Structure 1
Amino acid sequence: MSATHALRSRLRALALTAGLIAAGAAAAQTGSGYFRYGDARLSLAHAIAVIEEPSDQADERRTLVFLSAQPLDAAAVAAAFDAMDAVREQAPAGGYVRLCIAADGSECGLFYSPEGFNSGGYGDLALQRNEAARIAGRWQLAEGDFLGTPYDFDLRFDTPIAPAPGSALPAGGGAPGAAYNAWLEALAKGDVAALRRMGGEDARGRFPEDDAGTVKESLKSLRDGEPLQARIARGRQHGDQAVLWVEGVDRDDIRRRGRVLMRRTAAGWQHAESDLSSVDE
């Protein structure tokens, strides 16, 4: 190979590398701006986004954008049953701001930590991109007041939406779905021994063998929020964790709809957590 040909090859390689770097930068997440609440001011430099699906209804799907001073692990947040809990576990210095973007592109509120401040319906949100894989925009408010505390913000974001990991479960939710309905059946019957086996790590605390009063209160508390039997619209499994989107009627004839978290242990699939809401019919 001649020196000229070798030089040209190296130049092509450098150009390709530069192109890949540029493409990676274009796909990278960016966030900027600030949030001020009283004397506290959080300067923002990073953004991530994930999808939240509180039910199987398409119009309830929303995008959560998190802005912070330090980078957040978007994959960990996307994999979590509760995105807010996953962000809090990462404990970003100075706090974070969570923006909620509804399925129709409107805002569904923001949350500012560490002050624990919720707001909605204030300021101007303008989206430049609102796609399945990426969201970009700006939300700003020049002057606001909450019970005498002034606040203002200018929030800018341009970030890919981290996909939830895992694969779809078969119709009916597969083994996790069958385990959830078996747990509901045991709950309806008051089969405490079965609930201890199928209720996950906290079942021993909910149903202690030496405290009938606690067992009674636990049964009442769980029955109040769970359907008697669930129709499982779909499910997704990631390793030893599965999320089910369910709907059913509880013992008070109230329709419940939402998500259920199941975990696989040596004893099989166990109920870990439910996030269900009542449905107006």
Structure 2
Amino acid sequence: MRSIVQIGFGAALLCAALVANAADRGSGHFRKGEVRLEAKHVIAVTVDEDGDAASAQTYVYLSSVPMDARKVASAFQPSSAAEEQLGDGSAGYVRICINAEGAECGLYFSHNNPSASFNSSGYGVFKLDPAPKGRIAGRWVLAEPDDFFGETYDFDLTFDVAITPPPGTALPADGGEPGKAYRAWTTAVAKGDLAVLRRLVGGDYNAWRIKSDDESDVKAALKDLRDGTPVQARVLRGRIDGDDAVLWVEGKDRDDILRRGRVSLTRADGEWRYMEADLDSVSD
């Protein structure tokens, strides 16, 4: 009897998931010159890049091919994850950015075979519709074609979709173990301590440069890191998802320029390792 109940419960969950997916609707088109995208699929993700979680944006992707919302939501660079899902065939997407106040913060069009891309903001009519918590619905239309360097473009995009948040849970105020590892990393960068950097580095690009047998490669890597890495970093907040963590940090680099943004770390062989950072210079 217990197994029958479990099977029934599992079937109910599956049905609920199918109903939720069926409720997601995205349609319309985007045209730039001779390249036209017909939107057949839609996902929406929370893009949490700001130090203040209340400033998180929503990205709505309307695409010609299916996309995995979780992969995009969990990626350090969401749109890079979206690009990877286009494949090698003729496919594309339109990404609509919506800020915390519900206004549009830009539209980006990307297409493969033929290759085309386009950025726009402030054109046409953008409007959100009432939607339950956890969903977003609306329309953005530019009915009369506009001109961009000799090519016309127009679009009419409609969406009603569940929002997929980044996975994971909040870290302690100091960033926990990932925060400790990042502070060790920044100290090693400031000191040029290659032994520590080689132990803590992750990711193919950074690891290859730091661990290179060519001294000039190592020096160039260290210079690049020192130019943008805080000498001492303060963790603003953090999120952990299994063996992956993101920290929001700020601190002044060796040129006394205040840097603020995100850092990605991954746990491997029981130790947290630096993967990449997206830090901008900001005013004090």
> What is the CA–CA distance in structure 2 between the aligned matches of 1:76 and 1:248, rounded to whole Å?
30
Structure 2 unaligned residues grouped into runs of 5+:
1-11
Residues 23 and 193 from structure 1, CA distance in 2 versus in 1: closer, same or farther, beyond 3 angstroms?
closer
What secondary structure is seen at the aligned counterpart in 2 of 1:171?
Answer: coil
Partner of 2:257: 254
- Residue 250 of structure 1 deviates from its aligned partner by 1.1
> Is the 1:27–1:159 contact (alpha carbons within 8 Å) kept by the matching residues of 2?
no
Partner of 2:4: none
> What is the CA–CA distance in structure 1 between the aligned matches of 2:262 and 2:132, rounded to whole Å?
24
> Is the 1:262–1:271 contact (alpha carbons within 8 Å) kept by the matching residues of 2?
yes
User: What letter matches 1:75 in structure 2?
Assistant: R
Q: CA RMSD in A?
A: 2.1
Q: Which moved more, 1:59-68 or 1:180-189?
A: 59-68
Residues 173 and 76 from structure 1, CA distance in 2 versus in 1: closer, same or farther, beyond 3 angstroms?
same
Aligned partner of 1:68 among 63, 66, 69: 63
Give the length in aligned residue pairs: 263
- Residue 89 of structure 1 pairs with residue 84 of structure 2: yes
- Residue 230 of structure 1 deviates from its aligned partner by 1.2
- Residue 22 of structure 1 deviates from its aligned partner by 11
User: What letter matches 1:62 in structure 2?
Assistant: Q
- Residue 134 of structure 1 deviates from its aligned partner by 1.1
Partner of 1:110: 107
Structure 1 unaligned residues grouped into runs of 5+:
1-16
- Residue 46 of structure 1 pairs with residue 41 of structure 2: yes
- Residue 61 of structure 1 deviates from its aligned partner by 1.9
> What is the CA–CA distance in structure 2 between the aligned matches of 1:28 and 1:105, rounded to whole Å?
21
> What is the CA–CA distance in structure 1 between the aligned matches of 2:170 and 2:215, rounded to whole Å?
40
Partner of 2:75: 80
> What is the CA–CA distance in structure 2 between the aligned matches of 1:95 and 1:280, rounded to whole Å?
37
Partner of 2:154: 152
Partner of 2:240: 237
Partner of 1:169: 171
Residues 26 and 267 from structure 1, CA distance in 2 versus in 1: closer, same or farther, beyond 3 angstroms?
closer
User: What letter matches 1:264 in structure 2?
Assistant: R
C-alpha deviations, 1:86-141, integer Å up to 9, x for none?
A: 11121165210101111121211111111121111211100113675111100011
> Is the 2:109–2:119 contact (alpha carbons within 8 Å) kept by the matching residues of 1?
yes
- Residue 34 of structure 1 pairs with residue 29 of structure 2: yes
What secondary structure is seen at the aligned counterpart in 2 of 1:31?
Answer: strand
- Residue 57 of structure 1 deviates from its aligned partner by 2.3
- Residue 273 of structure 1 deviates from its aligned partner by 0.8
TM-score, normalization by structure 1: 0.87
- Residue 54 of structure 1 deviates from its aligned partner by 1.7
Residues 58 and 235 from structure 1, CA distance in 2 versus in 1: closer, same or farther, beyond 3 angstroms?
closer
> Is the 1:55–1:246 contact (alpha carbons within 8 Å) kept by the matching residues of 2?
no
- Residue 249 of structure 1 deviates from its aligned partner by 1.2
User: What letter matches 1:46 in structure 2?
Assistant: H
> What is the CA–CA distance in structure 2 between the aligned matches of 1:234 and 1:266, rounded to whole Å?
24
Residues 191 and 130 from structure 1, CA distance in 2 versus in 1: closer, same or farther, beyond 3 angstroms?
farther
- Residue 212 of structure 1 pairs with residue 229 of structure 2: no
- Residue 140 of structure 1 pairs with residue 141 of structure 2: yes
- Residue 194 of structure 1 pairs with residue 196 of structure 2: yes
> What is the CA–CA distance in structure 2 between the aligned matches of 1:188 and 1:132, rounded to whole Å?
45
> What is the CA–CA distance in structure 1 between the aligned matches of 2:44 and 2:60, rounded to whole Å?
4
